Structure 1
Amino acid sequence: MPVAAARPIVLTASERHRLKKAAYGHKTEHQARQRATVVLHAARGCSNARIARETRLHIDTVRTWRGRFAHGGLLALADRKRSGRPARFTPVQVAEAKALACQLPTETGVPLSRWSCPELAAELTARGITDSISASTVRRWLHQDAIKPWQYRSWIFIRDPNFRATAQRVLDLYARTFDGEPLGEDEYVISSDEKTSIQARCRCHPTLAPGQARAMRVNHEYDRGGALAYLAAYDVHQAKVFGRCEPKTGIVPFMNLVTQIMSTEPYASARRVFWIVDNGSSHRGKKAIDRLTTAFPNAVMVHTPVHASWTNQIEIFFSIVQRKVVSPNDFTDLTQVRDRLRAFEDRYNATAQPFQWRFTTSDLDDLLARLDRHTPADRQEESSVALAA
């Protein structure tokens, strides 16, 4: 019986480039590499038998892919759609599994704090939703909608009745506006707070520098060398930090920081200097406002909303200090901690630029509207009653 002649293959420059990339690429799948190699050999005029010998493939395999490319080009080298094994689980079962994962375990009578994939698989079987199912199958279903019931985030419900108005004053100051009027050139905005309990942990073994294929190593055991408080103030628009270390926080240490800044120029002769602070005990309430104004008449204290320290830009600087100075904590004594913090202030002020603060009053309105949508009506009523009381 005569053997059919091999299909001739003629490649364009683009096809040859893509086939070579597939045949010799390090990340190409093995099957795709084999198919591309077959076509490249065929384009050189090799017979199917010779290609089979050189690629160690069956001649029928060579004939198949040569023929497919001759008929359909590069797209024909991909796998054809297959029916595959019939689905074991119905779409309804998949939807019920996702719905269960989106419920708190306590709401369903299960004594768990969070769902895990094995627990979800066991619960689906116990409820008769599925006969038997593996945790990996549940994990694959949840991955489709990015559902991760084993993770959680903590948050604080807004209880301040004047949250929006208080937050708007802070956000307006960041935009150089106060009470609807733009700030002048001789008006400044200072963001300040305290970072408490910075410890001096003297490691029992010196910290080892990183090396080839090795991270920096910090000994787990340490001796305590005491702790101090780091008070800092950040000029929002000038991107300048002023800091001081104190044995502990309090009214006196905070006023020491205020005096340190307000006694120097340009703040001493400024028309107004706005001090943005949270509701900590060192600067809380009307007494703190009066205390500041009495000491420095051109100083104006502006409080952030309760439980909203994230609106205070100094917290961004503190996060930088935590990452770049404090962690990992390996100091011989508190003197070394103080020296390191002062040196970092000088280094930071030499190159600092104002933070790109993008959270505006419009974003604040969107946030509050989103929280209202996710707050049950009965809880809103309870909050209203509590605020009225």
Structure 2
Amino acid sequence: MPAPSARQITMTAAERRRLKQIAHSHTAPHQLVIRARIVLDAAHGHSNNAIAQRHQVSVDTVRLWRGRYDSRNGPASLRDRRRSGRPRQFTPIQIAEVKALACQLPAESGAPLSRWSSSELAREVVTRGLAVAISASSVRRILAEDTLKPWQHQSWIFIRDPAFSVKAARVLELYARHWDGTALGDDEYVISADEKTSIQARCRCHPTLPPGRSRMMRVNHDYDRGGALAYLAAYDVHHARVFGRTSAKTGIVPFMDLVEQVMTQQPYASARRVFWITDNGSSHRGKAAADRLTARFPNAILVHTPVHASWLNQVEIYFSIVQRKVVTPNDFTSLDQVEDRLIAFERRYNETARPFRWKFTPADLEDLMARIERHEQKERNLQQHDHCEHQPAVLAPAA
């Protein structure tokens, strides 16, 4: 009986291009790379024996993937098919109980923990008798089904400023070059200002080693403290220009020195209006700070962000860049070196800076306030419901 001939494979240019990407990939699974190469060789008309010898696999392996390749599904047909595997060790009820436990705070269970880990959850499951035995890896697999990660946490804060929406809208309006519904002119500017406090000079006890082959930069853990200073910066929102200075401490005088540094040079000195956006720090808080600024520079207008909303101040983005590129890792022999590095980076930044792509718009603010209102209304309804449930029943008098 004659031997069956090898299956002929034809493919389009697009299919061939996708398979070549997999065949030359350095990140795809090795098995998938070999299978893609087998199919490509088969499409070129090579025999099974030649392909097997070329890729150091068995002829049966070549025959399997040559026959399984489906042009309609493309590379997906080269992946392993689903297998039944061994039966589940845990019932659906046990799985639901593990997930419910992970969604509780440890304090509610009496556990002296700040947050759950997989091993602690496995221990609690056994302690409660939800399962005879369970491993931490099994807990992780169960939680992964619903993307539950109780070992992670995210901080948040309530909006405490009663005029949050009004103040935030004014700041967003300035970012869009509008004020009181009127477009800003070419001779009007928006400045975002704040202080980055307590930048320390940590002199490492051993020199920092540069990165090398298969080795990252190494910074000694031990250090001597060389004091700390504050970095005050004013950022021109629409022209991406930074003005900075250092000070031994923050306060009204250092902040006004920064204002004078900016307002005494062009184009701000002769500008029609210069809007200064600041948070509610003690150096520039309240109406007194606004009056003090206007008295010193009549064309300057102080605009405050809402309380606990410094994220609306664009200079904070610049400070985050400074933290990543200048201050971390902290290895300075003196405060003078810190100051020199900050000022030098400021000049370097201004050479290529572009305005930040601010994406939080007044429409996003409206959506945020609407979500908060819905959440607060839901909380009020729940409180009213609980209050009614705890009220004693009152019988109506008989007619």
CA distances 1:38-79 after superposition (whole Å, capped 9, x unpaired)? 995xx75678xxx89x9785xxx83x9748956986888765
- Count of residues in Structure 1 that have an aligned counterpart in Structure 2: 371
Note the C-alpha offset of 1:30.
Answer: 4.8
Is 2:252 aligned against 1:258? Answer: no
Query: What is the CA–CA distance in structure 2 between the aligned matches of 1:380 and 1:159, rounded to whole Å?
Result: 21
1:377 alignment partner, one of 342, 361, 379: 379
Q: Which residue of 2 aligns with 1:386?
A: none
Pairing 1:1-389 to 2, within 5 Å after superposition: 5-14=2-11, 29-30=30-31, 33=34, 62=60, 66=63, 81-374=82-375, 377=379
Deviation of 1:305 after TM superposition, in Å, equals 0.6
Whole-angstrom CA distance in 2 between matches of 1:195 and 1:71: 62
Q: Which amino acid aligns with 1:142?
A: L
Alpha-carbon distance change, 327 to 7 in structure 1, aligned in 2, over 3 angstroms: same
- What code does the residue aligned with 1:239 have? A
**Distance in 2, Cα, partners of 1:319 & 1:77:** 46
TM-score in terms of structure 2 length: 0.81
Contact residue 170 and residue 302 of structure 1 kept, 8 A:
yes
Residues 305-351 of structure 1 show CA distances to partners (whole Å, capped at 9, x for unaligned) of 11110100010111111111111122222222222111111111111
SS in 2 for 1:11: coil
Q: CA deviation at 1:184?
A: 1.3
Amino acid in the other structure paired with 2:160: R
**Kept in 1: contact 2:205–2:222 (CA 8 A):** yes
RMSD of the TM alignment (CA)? 3.5
Output the CA distance in 1 between the equivalents of 2:374 and 2:314: 28
Q: Secondary structure at the match of 2:323?
A: helix
- TM-score w.r.t. the length of structure 1 is 0.83
CA contact (8 A) 1:199 1:227 kept: yes
For the Cα contact (< 8 Å) 2:48–2:63, is it kept in 1? no
SS of match in other structure, 1:205:
coil
Distance 1:380 1:244, change over 3 A: farther
**Per-residue CA shift, 1:146-187, capped at 9, x if unaligned?**
211011122221111111111111111000111111111111
Deviates further, 277-286 or 196-205: 196-205
Deviation, 1:92, is: 2.9
Displacement, 1:289? Answer: 0.9
- How big is the shift at 1:80? 5.4
Do 1:208 and 1:216's aligned partners in 2 also have CA atoms closer than 8 Å? yes
Pair 9,207 (structure 1): closer, same or farther in 2 beyond 3 Å: same
The AA in structure 2 aligned to 1:102 is C
Alpha-carbon distance in 2 for matches of 1:35, 1:234:
54
Instruction: Give the conservation status (yes or no) of the 8 Å contact 1:198–1:228.
Output: yes
- Structure 1 pair 218–111 and aligned structure 2 pair: CA distance change class (3 A): closer
> Secondary structure at 1:184's aligned position in 2?
coil
8 Å contact 1:237–1:354 — kept in the other structure?
Answer: yes
* Identity, % of aligned positions: 61
Q: Provide the rounded CA distance (Å) in 1 between the counterparts of 2:343 and 2:96.
A: 57
More displaced 10-residue stretch of structure 1: 319-328 or 216-225? 216-225
